[in-house]
Copies of this chain bind each other. A is one copy, B any other.
Amino acid sequence: MTTTSPQGRTELLRPDGSPVRVLVVDDELSITELLSMALRYEGWQIRSAADGTGAVQTAREFRPDAVVLDMMLPDMDGLAVLGRLRRELPDVPVLFLTAKDAVEDRIAGLTAGGDDYVTKPFSLEEVVARLRGLIRRSGAADRRSDSVLVVGDLTLDEDSHEVSRAGDGIHLTATEFELLRFLMRNPRRVLSKAQILDRVWSYDFGGQANVVELYISYLRRKIDAGREPMIHTRRGAGYLIKPATS
């Protein structure tokens, strides 16, 4: 089931109306903190664990709808943790966190079962989007909730990554796509450059804040070119997207 809050944000809920539960497992406190914060903001209920033993214990009594699992834990191999989690919760989808250089095939085998993974350092938009996808597909939330964002004549499919305006397909790069998704998930709301940076860029990004301006510029070229603009600047405040006709 999805419901729309007064602020216009769309929330995922379980069929019985209670909040979705997510277990976060990582040994770095800063990572669990960051994820907990971001996922709580999605309206989900969060527990965290710092190692495999704790993860299994917490899972047993918390019964999460999804798990975020770092493959690199101090006490157990990631696969071992996964095995024990599966014994407790056979159907729960898992989002793996891995280092960029980790063996791809090992992960590839795991994700065949409907799980998914992101590489560190990740962006919060990416983690949230993939979790939403997992939960949606697992059936823990209402099946009817779909993966297409629509603002005016602009549509973005979170599953196929297809974007089109007024029927014309638009090719976006990965970063452009994430930025547009963030804007479209918060239509008519001013988002500051800091918010965008925190959400769309990975947590270790240490660069210039004007990348945001740059990517807004790219998006405009692709989305607003020769049409009624949908992306607007609020000087001194941030950016927002809204349907062209208004």
Residues of A within 8 A of B (CB): 5-8, 29-30, 33-34, 36-38, 40-41, 79, 83, 86, 90-91, 103-104, 107-115, 117, 124, 137, 143-147, 159-162, 173-174, 188-190, 192, 194-195, 197-199, 203-206, 208-209, 234-237, 240, 242
Contact = CB atoms under 8 A, between A and B. Distances in A.
Contacts of A115: 37
Which of A112, A124, A208 counts the most B-chain CB atoms under 10 A from its CB?
A112
Stoichiometry, as copies per complex, reads 2
A138 B40 CA distance: 10
B112 A38 contact: yes
A49 to B, nearest CB: 15
Given A34-B109, A40-B91, A41-B112, 20 more contacts: A6-B144, A6-B145, A6-B146, A30-B79, A36-B90, A36-B113, A37-B113, A38-B112, A40-B90, A108-B197, A108-B206, A109-B203, A110-B194, A111-B194, A112-B195, A159-B190, A160-B240, A161-B234, A161-B240, A173-B236
B113 A38 contact: yes
Contacts of A199: 111-112
B108 A195 contact: no
A170 B204 CA distance: 39
A207 B107 CA distance: 12
Given A6-B143, A198-B111, A160 B174 contact: no
Given A83-B33, A194-B103, A41 B189 contact: no
Given A40-B91, A41-B114, A236-B174, A188 B160 contact: yes
Contact of A195 (B5, B111, B124): B111
Which of A34, A36, A198 counts the most B-chain CB atoms under 10 A from its CB?
A198
A39 B192 CA distance: 24
Contacts of A41: 112-114
Nearest to A137: B7
A117 B194 contact: yes
Contacts of A109: 34, 37-38, 124, 198, 203
